[in-house]
Amino acid sequence: MAETAETPVLRRMLGARRAALGLSEMTPAKAMRLSLAKTGDRTLGVPIVLKDLGRKSLMPDDLAAALPDPALILRLDGPGGAVGLAVMCPQAVAAAIEAQTLGKVLPGAAPDRKPTATDALLMRDLVEMTLESFASLAADCTGLPAMEGYGFAGRMPDARVSAMALQDAAHLHLIAELDFSGGVKTGQLHFVLPNRTRAAMPGTAEEPGDWPDLMEKAVMASPVSLEARLCRLRLPLSEVSRLHVDQVLPLEQATLDGVELRGMDGRKLMGARLGRSGAMRAVRLRSGDAPPPQPALSAGLGPMSAAPAMPAATGPAAPGLAPADLAAPDFDAPGPLPLDPAPLDPAPLDPASSTPDFPAPEPMALDDIPALDPVPMPGIDLPD
């Protein structure tokens, strides 16, 4: 029953399937080797090989004697207020920095130096990804505490201060001997984590019946990408190949109220109105598929512009005309008009009676888009 409470249901099912297929059992060394190989490829772009993995029990008072000096010590905060440490020796830090900045690991030993806050930021992804992958792969290994949910929380000044941050109890001490780029550099990566069982961690399944609720929480907490589409424009390949900077593309069907919010599969979810909230671009969701008529936009690779609607002509009616006189008279349907090959010279127009010319619309920048008043929602505080 204790094993059932400590092991998630899905992992027990996978472990039984692996045993039925005759696959090798997962061990801490194998889990660390796979984790470092994946982390080295994704974060550094160079191979990292595990030469050896040591496992000990460590008390906080013995921390200074068990860690290399000097060393980069990173604090790891876990669920429920748990505190752990990730420690890297100077050679491991130098190899990781060389791979990130130069694209390769330089041969020869690097000089020992005092670590900095910049070193800690550069090692953050390497440490977090390694521990996350190791915790997932080694979840079925016996004798290991819960290692899920730890994240980078800052750099510790030295081993003495680090020991004070740990709980006064026995901790798991993992010592990974690393090989960078086929032996160009070697170093050590240490993990010091409290011995906490999975049953004591918040949000851990203790009974098989909790599995649907946990799956629902995991799925509902997953990130989803949405796309606000102003309009679609189809161009021949010949025109696309001639596009250049500052070229203006006419978007005849684009309107501020005609924005469509679409999901990852391209399916339309709802309509929206384009606007801004402070310094951020924003859209206001609306219901219905028919947006209200708005002036068309003309947008290109540069600023967006809008053609304002022309005002309706107003003024007094012509003298001597009754409303009945304004009705259109009945005419017979006109027949076809003969075509005259000679062009007609238009009669000169009287400037006083001609329609005045309206200036071309000025381009409208994105900052000129009207701001949207925030709609208060329960549980959400919107910035001023």
Using the predicted structure, report yes or no on whether residue 89 has a pLDDT greater than 90.
Answer: yes
Q: What is the mean pLDDT of residues 24-30?
A: 82
Question: Any alpha helices (H) in 77-207, and if so which ranges?
Answer: 90-102, 117-137, 159-165
Using the predicted structure, report yes or no on whether residue 250 has a pLDDT greater than 60.
Answer: yes
Percent of the chain whose predicted confidence (pLDDT) is above 90: 30
Q: What is the tens place of the pLDDT at every residue in 108-125? A: 898 888 999 999 999 999
Q: What is the mean pLDDT of residues 131-155?
A: 86
Residues 6+ apart with CB under 8 A from 363: 302, 303, 304, 305
Using the predicted structure, report yes or no on whether residue 26 has a pLDDT greater than 70.
Answer: yes
What pLDDT, on a 0 to 100 scale, did the predictor assign at position 311? 45
What pLDDT, on a 0 to 100 scale, did the predictor assign at position 22? 52
φ, ψ of residue 290 in degrees (nearest 5): -100, 105
3-state secondary structure of 100: helix
Q: What is the mean pLDDT of residues 118-140?
A: 90
- Looking at this protein, which amino acid is placed at residue 35? S
Q: What is the mean pLDDT of residues 233-240?
A: 87
User: Which pLDDT band holds residue 314 (cuts at 50, 70, 90)?
Assistant: very low
Which is more confidently placed, 212 or 169?
Answer: 169
Q: What is the tens place of the pLDDT at every residue in 345-356? A: 555 555 555 455
Using the predicted structure, report yes or no on whether residue 322 has a pLDDT greater than 70.
Answer: no
Q: What is the mean pLDDT of residues 98-110?
A: 91
Which is more confidently placed, 248 or 375?
Answer: 248
Using the predicted structure, report yes or no on whether residue 179 has a pLDDT greater than 50.
Answer: yes
* Burial category of 79 from C-beta neighbours within 10 Å (exposed 0-12, middle 13-18, buried 19 and up): middle
What pLDDT, on a 0 to 100 scale, did the predictor assign at position 195? 86
Distances (CA, A) of 206 to 67, 138, 344, 359: 36, 19, 92, 73
Which is more confidently placed, 304 or 91?
Answer: 91
Give dist(CA 59, CA 73) in Å, integer: 16
Using the predicted structure, report yes or no on whether residue 340 has a pLDDT greater than 80.
Answer: no
Give dist(CA 92, CA 39) in Å, integer: 14
Worst-scoring range by mean pLDDT, 76-85, 157-166, 177-186, 300-309?
A: 300-309
Which is more confidently placed, 210 or 108?
Answer: 108
The overall average pLDDT reported for the chain is: 74
User: Which pLDDT band holds residue 2 (cuts at 50, 70, 90)?
Assistant: very low
Using the predicted structure, report yes or no on whether residue 247 has a pLDDT greater than 80.
Answer: yes
Q: What is the DSSP letter of 42?
A: I
Q: What is the tens place of the pLDDT at every residue in 252-285? A: 777 777 788 888 777 888 888 888 777 777 888 8
What pLDDT, on a 0 to 100 scale, did the predictor assign at position 203? 47
